[in-house]
Amino acid sequence: MRALYWNGVNDLRVGTVPDPTIINPHDAILKVTLTTTCGSDLHFIDGYLPTMKPGDIIGHEFMGEVVETGPEVKKVKKGERVVVPSFIVCGQCWYCRNQLFSLCDNTHPKPELQVPLFGYPTAGIYGYTHAFGGYAGSHAEYVRVPFADNDCFHAPEGVPDDHVLFLSDAAPTGYMGADFCDIKPGDTIAVWGCCGVGLMAQRSAYLLGAERVIAIDRFPERLRLAREKCGSEVINYMEVDSVVETLKEMTGGRGPDACIDAVGMEAHGTGIQHAYDSVKQALHLQTDRGTALREAIMAVRKGGVLSILGVYMLMDKFPIGAIMNKGLTVRSAQQHGQKYMPRLLEHAAKGELDPSFLATHRFSLEDGPRGYAMFKHKEDGCVRSVFVP
Ligand SMILES: [Zn+2]
Ligand SMILES: [Zn+2]
């Protein structure tokens, strides 16, 4: 089959690789119908996240048609149209039984690569470094889905593919980030980042009862989507002296009730702190530039909630004093997609959370490297590149 693979730092290629096969009785093989880029892919493409090997097929957000199932697969059948959350989960362990799905204890075949950094391994993820399991990704004609009964969700009839696709990751991640905020009537939620996840977090915050949502980014076309598709008020941080002061002014001096960071370790910023972070990251003295997260910590009201969706590894100058003295609640996770999927499918059926506007650009799989370049550089207002294998 044809697949898009990582060949080295900033070197993606398309080539012919062996087809996936059923390895375990709970596996299914999907013919991928749509798959999309994700901001977190950029971290290993450009070498900030290590443990990629040349030839690794990338991609973790996808939907497809079931073409083969192992003998123990009961709930999904050949020919069915399904969407798959990006974390692979067993459905049986303590974490799965407590709906902490991205922390599944049984789907990371190489825990020794994560334990030194995190203390315990997370669940495995498709196409996302050997530190996250080394599974083959979805930017291919076919993909193997382990534990298919837990991880394949039937796509509702009448809901189009470019809507269903984003239920794989962007929508549940954003929805989870808003859910973390324990939103009450009258609440104001600030969201850093108008990427797919950030936009979904904004829309979800309204669905969960927020009165105001304020979005922070620097790209006018993304801020326009935040305004028009999500109903958010917006701050272009290139046009204000201080995001924190602007948020204070917009909230009568009190600050947002919760702040969601949908940016992560490669935050862009302005000023001396950003310059310091960039130099340290370039010298590999820290892995993460934390402009967005630091701003969120400073801006959130006293006693508020900090919801972290952006990907981080290690950060320097982390303002723990502000978290402790302001009495903040910090909540964070990689997406527990299997928990949120039933709710999202219901919203999808009612037309309440339609993420299809994220699919700004479409490519064949053969054009994958160009699709990633456009996505990375946000050319032509690209929010997500979608591949049709
Ligand atoms: Zn993703
Ligand atoms: Zn599990």
Please state the three-class secondary structure of 141-187 as a single string.
CEEEECCHHHHCEECCCCCCHHHHHHHHCHHHHHHHHHHCCCCCCCC
The confidence score (pLDDT) of residue 312 equals: 82
pLDDT, tens digit (0-9, with 9 covering 90-100), for 89-133: 999 999 999 999 999 999 999 999 999 889 999 999 999 999 999
User: Distance from the CA of 137 to the center of ligand 1, in angstroms?
Assistant: 12
- Residue (of 221, 181, 225, 224) closest to 205 by Cα position: 181
Decide: helix, strand or coil at residue 250.
helix
The helix/strand/coil state of 189 is strand
Residues in CB range of 181: below 8 A, 6 or more apart: 187, 189, 205, 208, 210, 257, 258, 260, 305, 307
The ligand that comes nearest to the alpha carbon of residue 108 is 2
d(Cα 364, Cα 291) in Å, to the nearest integer? 35
Residue 239: CB atoms within 10 Å: 9
The rounded distance, in Å, linking the Cα atoms of 47 and 119 is 23
CA of 40 to the centre of ligand 2 (A): 23
Expressed in angstroms and rounded, the spacing between residue 272 Cα and the centre of ligand 1 is 30
Give the closest ligand to the alpha carbon of residue 95.
2
- 107: CA distance to ligand 2 center in Å? 7
For 16-69, write each residue's pLDDT tens digit: 999 999 999 999 999 999 999 999 999 899 988 889 999 999 999 999 999 999
Query: Ligand 1 center to residue 237 CA distance, Å?
Result: 24
CA distance 38 to 30: 20
pLDDT, position 314: 77
Which residues of the chain fall short of a pLDDT of 70?
266-267, 269-289
For residue 335, how far is its CA from the centre of ligand 1 (angstroms)?
Answer: 9
Burial class (CB in 10 A: 0-12, 13-18, 19+), 325: exposed
**pTM of structure:** 0.94
